[in-house]
Amino acid sequence: MDNKENDKEVLEMVEEAIDENRVKVYYQPKFSAKGIKVAGVEALCRIENEYHELVLPGEFIPVLERQESSDAIRRLDWFIITKACKFLKRLQRERLELLPVAVNLSRRHLSDEPVEHYMCSTANYMEIPHKYLEVELTESAAEDDSLELQRLIYRLRGSGFRVAIDDFGTGQANFKFLIENQVDVIKLDKSLISHGCDDPREKEVVRDLIRMAKRLGLTVVAEGVENARQWNFLIDHGCDLLQGYFAAEPLSEAEFFDFYNSIEVE
Ligand code: C2E
Ligand code: CA
Ligand code: CA
């Protein structure tokens, strides 16, 4: 099958999954370094296929992103935003402590119909305070059009949403990005801690990145924390939030509520 045919199949698979309510959101907890408390979640999408297996976003997001029209990726991302608001509504309904929910937004929304309008109307309709919605943007979005990205961040923050810069440390434009943009959160890419923070060069870089981010007033999140050595190193050096398989994998909504309820009553 050539690429075009494969893309067409993937597009149809996603469209059908949205129509049939088979797009699932998994929620991966982020833990605060102080007190090891759940301090937020990241919403990650999966598609349940006809065999009830979960298809991971790596298999369909890149296909949606490379289409000429941004309709398909917009439809998916907006669907996830709605689900994130419903998740917050459920926390409210069950009288659990509200948590910031982070959604990943594709760079394809830069020149799109304003995504913040959709976020505002959905959050307002469901009476969700905007500060509980966070948007994770990859810094590589700046490679497409840094001015558009700057404007999008400005508009999102102006509407009261939090903005995180995802995968920090992997792109070309990271320091310039931090100079040009005021964001709330910086997420250190998992590749920066892949040597388990045992490597002296890795240690120096990560330590100073955290220090710099803190001096800029940012919340620092480390993703992909897989073991106790990484966890302890990051806590010792002032990282605010930790996310990764070591503490919790992405959980289905039902699993998340079981987990969150069990720690809330402790
Ligand atoms: P990301 O935003 O960097 O998300 C983190 C990825 O790392 C997730 O993969 C997560 O499951 C995985 N992960 C979590 N903990 C660990 C760990 O300890 N070790 C390792 N090695 N990996 C860990 P996932 O869910 O497959 O998502 C892949 C990417 O797809 C995401 O990367 C994000 O860029 C994109 N994505 C996911 N959901 C959405 C969405 O709703 N919209 C858009 N536009 N993109 C999405
Ligand atoms: Ca992310
Ligand atoms: Ca990431």
pLDDT in tens, 178-222: 888 899 999 999 999 887 677 888 889 999 999 999 999 999 999
Mean pLDDT calculated for residue range 137-146: 69
**pLDDT score for 143:** 61
First to last CA, the chain: 54
Task: State if residue 57 touches ligand 1 by the CB under 6 angstroms criterion.
Answer: yes
* pLDDT at 53 > cutoff 90: yes
Which among 136-145, 146-155, 239-248 has the top mean pLDDT? Answer: 239-248
Q: Which of 42, 59, 104 to mutate to test the pocket of ligand 1 (most atoms within 8 A of CB)?
A: 104
Nearest protein Cα to ligand 1, atom 20: 224
Question: 3 falls in which pLDDT band (50, 70, 90)?
Answer: confident
Task: State if residue 33 touches ligand 1 by the CB under 6 angstroms criterion.
Answer: no
Question: 33 falls in which pLDDT band (50, 70, 90)?
Answer: confident
Mean pLDDT calculated for residue range 224-228: 94
What is the whole-number distance in angstroms between the Cα of residue 211 and the centre of ligand 1? 25
* pLDDT at 65 > cutoff 60: yes
Task: State if residue 23 touches ligand 1 by the CB under 6 angstroms criterion.
Answer: no
What is the whole-number distance in angstroms between the Cα of residue 1 and the centre of ligand 2? 31
Is the CB of residue 161 less than 8 Å from the CB of residue 134? yes
Nearest protein Cα to ligand 1, atom 30: 57
* pLDDT at 138 > cutoff 70: yes
Question: 42 falls in which pLDDT band (50, 70, 90)?
Answer: very high
* pLDDT at 141 > cutoff 90: no
* Count: domains in the chain: 1
Q: How far apart are CA 239 and CA 249, in angstroms?
A: 19
What is the whole-number distance in angstroms between the Cα of residue 170 and the centre of ligand 3? 10
Question: 110 falls in which pLDDT band (50, 70, 90)?
Answer: confident
* pLDDT at 173 > cutoff 60: no
Task: State if residue 190 touches ligand 1 by the CB under 6 angstroms criterion.
Answer: yes
**pLDDT score for 108:** 83
Question: 265 falls in which pLDDT band (50, 70, 90)?
Answer: low
Owning domain of residue 108 = 3-264
Token representation of residue 42: 């990241």
Read off the CATH number of the domain in which 136 is found.
3.20.20.450
> Among 75, 131, 130, which residue's Cα sits nearest to residue 108?
75
Enclosing H/E stretch for 204:
helix 200-215
Q: Which of 30, 31, 44 to mutate to test the pocket of ligand 1 (most atoms within 8 A of CB)?
A: 44
Which percentage of the chain shows pLDDT scores above 90? 72
* pLDDT at 162 > cutoff 80: yes
**pLDDT score for 200:** 87
- The mean predicted confidence, pLDDT, of the chain is 91
pTM: 0.95
Alpha helices in 42-168 (DSSP H): 61-65, 71-93, 115-125, 141-158
Token representation of residue 30: 């982020």
Token representation of residue 203: 């240690």
Task: State if residue 147 touches ligand 1 by the CB under 6 angstroms criterion.
Answer: no
What is the whole-number distance in angstroms between the Cα of residue 136 and the centre of ligand 2? 6
Task: State if residue 101 touches ligand 1 by the CB under 6 angstroms criterion.
Answer: no
Is the CB of residue 126 less than 8 Å from the CB of residue 104? no
What is the whole-number distance in angstroms between the Cα of residue 105 and the centre of ligand 2? 8
Under DSSP, is residue 262 helix (H, G, I), strand (E, B) or coil? helix
Dihedral sign for Cα atoms in the order 206, 196, 61, 102: negative
Q: Tell which atom from ligand 1 comes closest to the C-alpha of 73.
A: 44
Is the CB of residue 181 less than 8 Å from the CB of residue 141? no
**pLDDT score for 161:** 97
